[in-house]
Amino acid sequence: MKNPDAFKKVAVIGCGFIGYSWGVVFARNGLAVSMYNRKSKTLDTVKDRMKEALEFLRDEGMIEAHAVRESLDRITVTHDPEEAVRDADYIQECLWEDLELKREMFERLTAIVPADVPIGSSCSGLRITDIASRVKHHPERCIVAHPTNPPHLIPFMEISGDNASEEVKRTVYRFMESLGQKPILCKEVYGYVLNRIQLSLIQEALYLVKEGICNVEAVERALTDGLGLRWAFTGPYGVEELNSASLEEGLEKYKDYMIEFFMNQQKKLADYDEAFIKKAAAEFKPLMNGKSHDEYLKWRDKMVIRTRMLKRNNP
Ligand SMILES: NC(=O)c1ccc[n+]([C@@H]2O[C@H](COP(=O)([O-])OP(=O)(O)OC[C@H]3O[C@@H](n4cnc5c(N)ncnc54)[C@H](O)[C@@H]3O)[C@@H](O)[C@H]2O)c1
């Protein structure tokens, strides 16, 4: 396996929300990037979206002004997957979350690229063992490289693959670290780590509103005025450490309270219908303070990058 310090070119397979953002991560770190998508408006406009993202990073002081043009010069766009992966040292797959689609692409790409090229899937819930089930040429280089949306702003990511080689996982881990991403390793499990935590929270957020216990605004504020302020700096274990004299004491002290909730109080939300979706959307809209969806997204991105700066300056 090649040393990741020697990687020069990356192919990104799929140019949607995640693909374009991965492309920005690779290009701004000095790598040549080949962006592949089937013929579509997404493909035609991907470089514009990447330019906008690079300019945003420049405006927020994350990259130098000259890095915008230099990064853009390293990006090529194609609707031919074979051309995209030619001479690539690493491949990041970002197609729709569709097992058959990803299976076909992994089978096709592994047949043409050298055995020492790792292929990471951005898949959120699918298992890489299933995605790589038809790969005949070195399936051990196929892994999960699941980002947080959007990876050019939020660095956390998961590397997984129960049948992947340790060498591949180590190589991609080091590669991602060298790009400024913050990888973790975990076993293959539905949803991996971040989404399992997030889904538990979303489940409760839906339950509280569906049962009329509180409204959408209350749930949003519990996070944005409450938990979220801590969570950018301490996770749940850190919170328990600080809620008591120590983590040991916190876990001991609150055990009965927590187990009572897990076992008896936490109700599962089995389903929700269209009427609930409409009601939630109507309650949420005023919380955007008159911003359009795009304006709300830009504002969120700005706040995220400023929080990252704060963290960077206070390690
Ligand atoms: N959006 C998120 O929040 C998020 C976060 C982490 C991981 N992911 C994962 O990243 C992957 C991509 O998600 P996304 O949100 O970018 O989706 P998306 O719909 O924005 O992009 C998918 C892209 O795949 C392209 N595509 C679909 N079929 C194709 C084909 N046959 N040939 C070529 N291109 C094809 C589409 O044209 C589209 O541009 C998924 O596996 C998803 O689970 C998404």
CATH number at residue 290: 1.10.1040.10
Q: In angstroms, what is the span from residue 191 Cα to ligand 1's centroid?
A: 16
257-308 per-position pLDDT tens digit: 999 999 999 888 889 999 999 999 999 999 999 999 999 999 999 999 999 9
Mode of pairing for the β-strands spanning 32-36 and 119-121: unpaired
Mean pLDDT calculated for residue range 87-115: 97
Contacts of 73 (CB under 8 A, 6+ apart): none
Task: Tally DSSP H helices, then E strands, for the chain.
Answer: 15, 8
pTM, 2 dp: 0.94
Atom of ligand 1 nearest to the CA of 42: 39
Q: Are residues 164 and 204 in the same domain?
A: no
Q: Are residues 144 and 89 in the same domain?
A: yes
Residue 238: the pLDDT is 97
Q: Which of 153, 169, 190 is the last residue of a domain?
A: 190
Q: Are residues 145 and 224 in the same domain?
A: no
The position carrying tokens 């990687």 is: 7
pLDDT at residue 113 tops 90: yes
Which domain does 21 fall in, by range? 4-190
Q: Are residues 130 and 158 in the same domain?
A: yes
Q: Which of 190, 220, 251 is the last residue of a domain?
A: 190
Q: Are residues 14 and 57 in the same domain?
A: yes
pLDDT at residue 229 tops 90: yes
pLDDT at residue 147 tops 90: yes
Mean pLDDT calculated for residue range 12-22: 98
Q: Which of 141, 173, 190 is the last residue of a domain?
A: 190
Q: Are residues 110 and 54 in the same domain?
A: yes
Residue bearing the CA closest to ligand 1, atom 2: 149
Q: In angstroms, what is the span from residue 1 Cα to ligand 1's centroid?
A: 28
Beta carbons within 10 angstroms of residue 87's beta carbon:
12
Percent with pLDDT over 90 in the chain = 96
Residue bearing the CA closest to ligand 1, atom 5: 149
Residue 125: the pLDDT is 87
Residue 268: the pLDDT is 85
**Mean pLDDT computed over every residue of the chain:** 96
Q: Are residues 141 and 226 in the same domain?
A: no
Q: In angstroms, what is the span from residue 93 Cα to ligand 1's centroid?
A: 9
Residue 226: the pLDDT is 97
Q: Are residues 126 and 199 in the same domain?
A: no
Cα 82 → chain centroid: 25
- Distance between CA atoms of residues 275 and 13, nearest Å: 37
Residue 160: the pLDDT is 97
Residue bearing the CA closest to ligand 1, atom 20: 16
CA distance readout (Å), 175 to 10, 11, 88, 97: 11, 14, 14, 24
Residue bearing the CA closest to ligand 1, atom 26: 95
Q: Are residues 144 and 223 in the same domain?
A: no
Atom of ligand 1 nearest to the CA of 95: 24
Q: Count of domains in the chain? A: 2
Q: In angstroms, what is the span from residue 96 Cα to ligand 1's centroid?
A: 4
Q: How is 263-286 classified by DSSP, letter by letter?
A: III--------HHHHHHHHHHHGG
Q: Are residues 144 and 160 in the same domain?
A: yes
Q: Are residues 303 and 161 in the same domain?
A: no
CATH number at residue 156: 3.40.50.720
Q: Are residues 13 and 103 in the same domain?
A: yes
